[in-house]
Every structure is written in C-alpha cells, then in structure tokens.
Structure 1
C-alpha cells in the first residue's frame, strides 16, 4: 500500500451528538438528525465556536446507500485488462447516482495576523452520466437532483452541474492563468505518455481548469493524481472571500467499491498581473466523497432533463471546442449586457425545457453568439 501514501491527506471526521450542521444544498439525511459533522483534524487550541462549520440551511430527504460493489468496480478488477483500458474503466466507474459530501478546512496560513477561515461542509445528491466515450476519451456530466424533507419545497429540483472530460495522452490543454484568463499549454511527448488529462467545466460549460496525471492500479486500488494546477475562486467562496482569487493545488481521485473519493491539497493565492509573483494566503485540505445510492431515484429526473435540453448543451460544448481550437489565450467577462454567462445559457435551456420544442439552428446560433459576447483577448 506504500505506493498510495505519497501526498496523501490526513483528514478524518468525527460524529458528535449536537445540532445539525447544514450544507449548501442539503443537510445530512434525516436518520442523522441528532448529529453534527465536524472536523477532527482541525485547530485544537482555538475556541470551537470560531470553527463551527459553515454551509446552507435546507434539509435533504432520506437517503439509502447502495452498499454492494458496483459492476464498474468489478470490471475494474479483471486481471486481463490492458493498462489504458483499466484507466478508462476507472474513469467510467465514476458514473452513477450518488450522495456527495464536500468538506474543506484550512491547514495553515501565511498572511499577517492570519486567522483560519471556518471549515466548510455541504451535501447533495446527484447523477453522473456518460456523455461520450471512446478508447481515448470519456466525458462525464454531473446533474444535481435534490429531494427535500420539507414537502412544501417540492421536488425534485434538477440542475445541470459541472462536467469532466478525460483525454488519453492529451498534449493540447487550456490551463487557468488567473484573472479569468485561460491559455494553451502544449505538453511534449514524454510528459503526455501514459497520462490522462482531466478538463473540468463550470455549470454553464465554460472552462474551469485542466490538469494531467496518471492512474495507478495496485492491490485493488485505482487512483489518479494530478499535476499542480490553478483554478478560479470556487463557488463556495464567492460570497465570503475577496482576499484571494486563485486556488492552486493537486488532486487525487480514488475509485472505491461503492463510489469514489476526491482529495485536494490547495493553496489560496492572490494573483495580480503577470509582473507580480502570486502570494499564498493559506493552505487548505479538501475531501469530496461520492457514495452510491439506491434511494432516492435521481437518474430518471436527470435523464428527463437531458432528453429535453441535451441538444442545446451539445451546441454549447461544440461552440467551446471551436474557441479552444482557434484561441491560444482568452479572457472571460464577468457579465455582458447585464447578465452573467450562466444566466444566458440556463435561461435559454429553461425555455426549451418548458416548451418541449428545440430548433437546432436557433440553438446553435444562440450558443455561439452568447459565448462570443463574453470573450476578450487579453
């Protein structure tokens, strides 16, 4: 097991009898209503009240975990798989229906008069679908499907979430450079040999970050570890932090018999113009757990959403592919014509979903023109 201890995160959780700490989208399931999730690996000499976990307020419906090893996990264990195919099966094993927990805690600080930010916890249910797969490419689309304990809130609430594209021996990446700028990075043959890139996209299919790394498979473990890569300020920090604007760090994704785990070791950076060196304010540890569920049923509502809007979102992806082909470097505006990019795309998709009608040419034009309106050459 030594191979999988390099760069690992010592991160554990303790359940303490108290009141609920709620997540951005849902709190823990109802059967845990008498517990609080807190960080055992934290700041032992600070006032516990100052380290109370922050998050949202809504209560999620009851969840039933699927505790049987998945078919994808069993396929991954087949001894006859070639290395590239075993890598691909590990990526495909991330598809499915999940309860997801997101936890982050700052581990150290470097700013003058540093005081650690409150730990973060949120919880949700979602479905991960395979949009496309070939022997050297896999695209996975996440869709939030939220059921609530409060029946007055209705449900399920279905929302397009983030996307991850995996490419084998990818030598043409677009990486984040700070200040809403993405730039082409070309790897040499040796750097790309045997590696898979992971390109992560925002809810509106605009780029977020791209990293590359290699899968390791040993003793039932399958884990991918990335290079050090930059990302924009995460959504969980938009409304509470303005002292840093880039999250840099490494990722490790490990496949388990009943899901997968995403570990992060991050540095919170303040990045100015290119003449100034970045300044690290604090380091952060993160763990996102994807636990396969049997209930509630989240695939069917997700499938229904994609049946109505999928053709439009395909045009959005195609428009971005054209941007990546043509532009070595680009910057995204925060708003255009008084709207944010996600508002333009989600508003159009909502009209399609409500009407049940979609015109291919109009959708293509809207996707291309909308994205073009937000692009700037820095």
Structure 2
C-alpha cells in the first residue's frame, strides 16, 4: 500500500511538472506573437476628474497612428526580450525611432518599482509569490527603467491575456504638458488577438507626496491596437536594428550591471543639460567605456 501511495505521488508530481512546462511554453508562444510588423493606433482619453480646482483642464483625447517593428532581441528558457522601433515619415525613405523595450522574465523575484521623482525602489519577492508568473519589465528609449509588474498569463475560451497594475512614470505625451501629478498607476492588459494584439489600459493619474496618502487626480482610458501586416513593410526598421543592435547591446549590458546592485535607484533627469536618450542617440557614443561612463553619470544612487 505504501509503495502504491509513493508511486501515485511520483506520478502526480510528474503530471504536474509536464502540465507546468506545457503552460510555460504556451505563455512564451503568446509573448512571441507580439513580434513582427504592426500598424499601431494609440488611443488615450481622460475619463473622470476629481480635482477641486474649478479651472482644472483635462488632457485632450489623443489618437496617433504609425508603423512599428517589434524585434525579438533575446530568448532563453526563462526570458523573452522584444525591442520596439517606430517607422515614420516618407515610406520610400522612412525615419526610424528607437522606441520602448519589453522584457518578459519567468518567475522573476527582483523588481524595481517606480516611486515618483525619477526613483525606483528595489523589491525582492519570494519564489512562492511569483510561481508560474511572468514579469513584464518595460524600458525607456534609452533602456533606462520605466515600470514592471508580475502576473500569470491566462489562456481560456480561446483568449490569451496578461493583466497587472503597477506604478509608472508619466508618459511622454503627459510630462511635456502636465506637472500637476507625478505617478501613473497603470492597469495593463495585453491580449493576443486574431489580428495581432491589444494593449488595454485603465490608468490613474496620482499625486504622491512622502508621508501622505496618494490622491487620484483623474482617470484615463488607453486602448492601443497592434494590427499585424507583412514584415516587408518594416524592412527599414529591421535593417536599422541590424546596423545598430551591437551598440544597444552594450547599453543593455551596462544597465544590467546597474540593476544587479539590487538597491534603490535614483536617476538624474539631465546631465550637461541633456536627458540620457539625447546622449545615447548621438553618434558620439559607440564605445563601451563611453557608454558606461555616460549611463553611470545619471545614476545618483
């Protein structure tokens, strides 16, 4: 009887392991479906306002369209890294803009959580807290941190999606125009569709001050659609990445060394009166030692 019980237990463990491996593979396949060439539409609208200021002006509804290339940068058994590139302007001679990057890491336990004022708090989670989950780490155009969060990919009723709520900096469309709040609490949903994928957002515009409770200034709806088109339409972006990927590998490597310190992180907004992306986007920075030096100059702690 004991032998039967032990055999049954071993069989159950084996079945659970196989199921977990199958689920992980399904998750990775969903993530990798975000790669390729897409016609993108960005939609944002402020929905509710809670300000006591009678002169408060909500952000204008924003709709923008473009062509975006999502390049698979790195893949191993526990990680998928995707670099986004915008392709804009004259289709016969387009301009390429290095856009955001998303890294997906399986059962990640090390987090840099945004806390306003260009600061990120390091948090260590237990393995049990992130079991079966994927962390999406989102990076700025210069590969500095933006926001991240962990959740489980869900595959049900023919749908594949991932949902998480996390603190983030203001998006570029806001921080160039608004200074009345300092944290965006982002409700992110990534769903794979038959046409591509959707980034569905429900965001809070939050005022955060030390020692005080957060104040929600307004709410915002974001709905960004990625419609798959033939990869040939993004050939210029794909070629740009082939020509420039070695430089950006050096940038990512330096940031990995910064993150591996596992300590709270504060970054300067500007050095020599320029933000980091303006330094790195110039042809002046191609060598590893120069790249390392300029990134380190932005690290306050």
Task: State the TM-score, normalized to the length of structure 2.
Answer: 0.88
Provide structure 2 residue ranges, at least 5 long, that are not aligned to the other structure. Answer: 1-18
Question: Cα offset for 1:81?
Answer: 7.9
Question: Cα offset for 1:142?
Answer: 0.3
User: How far apart are the structure 1 equivalents of 2:292 and 2:262?
Assistant: 15
| 1:374 and 2:268 correspond | no
Name the counterpart of 2:236: 301
Match of 2:132 among 194, 204, 208: 194
1:41-96: per-residue Cα shift (whole Å, max 9, x none)?
A: xxxxxxxxxxxxxxxxxxxxxxxxxxxxxxxxxxxxxx998101000100000001
Question: Cα offset for 1:190?
Answer: 2.2
Match of 1:134 among 70, 76, 100: 76
**CA pair 183-80 structure 1, distance change in 2 beyond 3 A:** closer
Spell out the pairing of 1:217-366 with structure 2 (5 A cutoff). Answer: 217-226=155-164, 228-272=165-209, 274-294=210-230, 297-298=233-234, 300-348=235-283, 363-366=287-290
| 1:95 and 2:35 correspond | yes
Question: Cα offset for 1:337?
Answer: 1.5
1:183-217: per-residue Cα shift (whole Å, max 9, x none)?
A: 11111222101110000001111110011111110
User: How far apart are the structure 2 equivalents of 1:321 and 1:291?
Assistant: 32
User: How far apart are the structure 2 equivalents of 1:174 and 1:137?
Assistant: 17
Question: Cα offset for 1:109?
Answer: 1.3
CA RMSD of the aligned region, Å? 1.9
User: How far apart are the structure 2 equivalents of 1:80 and 1:366?
Assistant: 44
Spell out the pairing of 1:28-43 with structure 2 (5 A cutoff). Answer: none
In structure 2, the residue corresponding to 1:326 is in which secondary structure? coil
| 1:125 and 2:61 correspond | no
Task: State the TM-score, normalized to the length of structure 1.
Answer: 0.71
User: How far apart are the structure 1 equivalents of 2:106 and 2:244?
Assistant: 28
Provide structure 1 residue ranges, at least 5 long, that are not aligned to the other structure. Answer: 1-78, 353-357
1:224-245: per-residue Cα shift (whole Å, max 9, x none)?
A: 011x211111011122211112
In structure 2, the residue corresponding to 1:90 is in which secondary structure? helix
Structure 1 stretches of 4+ with a deviation exceeding 4 A read none
Question: Matched residue pairs, number?
Answer: 281
